[in-house]
């Protein structure tokens, strides 16, 4: 039974994605957004469980990617379209189509290079792309905050996230982080503090955390590029 756990968690992932789609169709955008975040939780654990029990397989990899396409490609694109991009008509659903296609391309590229054992993600991970769209919907539906040109800002956001998904920009994967036995207590303390902060204002804190992660990739990219240019200039001089 334990060997089925990774695929069970992957199935729960696609269940949440499908539930998000149904909730979007029914007009419950808040519930649809939280379903995407829950799908992220199952997506995190299925891979970790598979590696822990040493039951990784090509089937599991492909199944996970197909489920991710539903949960982090189709579900968030429909959510953001129903939320605000439908006001743009054809331009709105084409932007959502572009996002979904970029998720599919990103997942295909990840599968091809999965055996290389990279310690980072090439391009923005699809769960993070889905999370920023879901958090935007949560933020504006929970805080009831409105300002001019929000529809244009969201449209531009979809295009930017679509590019980041297929870009060569590297994002930290955190897969190599290992917690030593002596650090367990302090990790638990930080986890409780972080959970308390997120639980106090989830719609705002989630948006801030995810935005920070998305900006981290370009920041590291330009930082490393700048250092390379400086080193090259110093060598010539």
Q: Looking at residue 186, what is its pLDDT?
A: 67
Residues in the chain where the model's pLDDT stays below 50: none
Distance CA 42, CA 40 (A): 5
Q: Looking at residue 189, what is its pLDDT?
A: 77
Backbone angles phi, psi at 171, to 5 degrees: -120, 140
- Residue-wise over 12-44: b if at least 16 C-beta within 10 A, else e? bbbbbbbbbbebbeeeebeebbbbbbbbbebbe
Q: Looking at residue 90, what is its pLDDT?
A: 94
Q: Looking at residue 148, what is its pLDDT?
A: 66
Q: 177-184 long-range contacts, Cβ below 8 Å, gap at least 24?
A: none
What tokens were used for 67? 């489920």
Do residues 67 and 13 touch, judged by C-beta distance below 8 A? yes
213-236 pLDDT, tens digit per residue, is 999 988 888 887 777 777 776 676
Strand partners, 172: 120
Q: Looking at residue 3, what is its pLDDT?
A: 65
Distance CA 96, CA 78 (A): 7
The closest alpha carbon to 171, from 120, 223, 236, 222, belongs to: 120
The closest alpha carbon to 118, from 176, 169, 50, belongs to: 176
SS (HEC) of 118-184: CCEEECCCHHHHHHHHHHHHHHHHHCCCCCCCHHHHHHHHHHHHHHHHHCCCEEECCCCCCCCHHHH
**CA quadruple 209, 202, 83, 129: dihedral positive or negative?**
positive
Q: Which domains does the chain have, with CATH numbers?
A: 2-236 (1.20.120.1760)
């Amino acid at each position: 039974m334990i060997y089925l756990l990774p695929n069970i968690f992957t199935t729960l992932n696609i269940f949440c994605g499908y539930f998000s789609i149904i909730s979007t169709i029914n007009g419950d955008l808040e519930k649809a957004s939280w379903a995407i975040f829950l799908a992220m939780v199952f997506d995190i654990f299925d891979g970790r469980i598979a590696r822990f029990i040493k039951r990784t397989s090509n089937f599991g990899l492909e199944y996970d990617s197909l489920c991710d396409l539903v949960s982090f490609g189709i579900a968030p694109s429909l959510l953001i379209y129903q939320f605000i991009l439908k006001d743009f008509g054809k331009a709105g659903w084409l932007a959502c189509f572009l996002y979904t296609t970029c998720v599919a391309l990103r997942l295909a590229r990840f599968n091809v290079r999965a055996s290389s054992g990279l310690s980072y993600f090439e391009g923005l991970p699809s769960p993070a792309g889905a999370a920023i769209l879901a958090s935007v919907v949560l933020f504006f539906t929970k805080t009831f905050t409105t300002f001019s040109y929000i529809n244009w800002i969201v449209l531009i956001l979809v295009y930017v996230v679509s590019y980041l998904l297929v870009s060569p920009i590297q994002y930290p994967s955190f897969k190599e982080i290992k917690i030593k036995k002596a650090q367990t207590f302090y990790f638990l303390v930080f986890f409780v503090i972080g959970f308390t902060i997120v639980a106090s204002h989830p719609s705002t804190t989630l948006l801030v955390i995810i935005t920070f992660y998305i900006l981290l990739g370009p920041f590291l990219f330009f930082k490393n590029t700048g250092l390379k240019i400086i080193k090259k200039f110093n060598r010539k001089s």
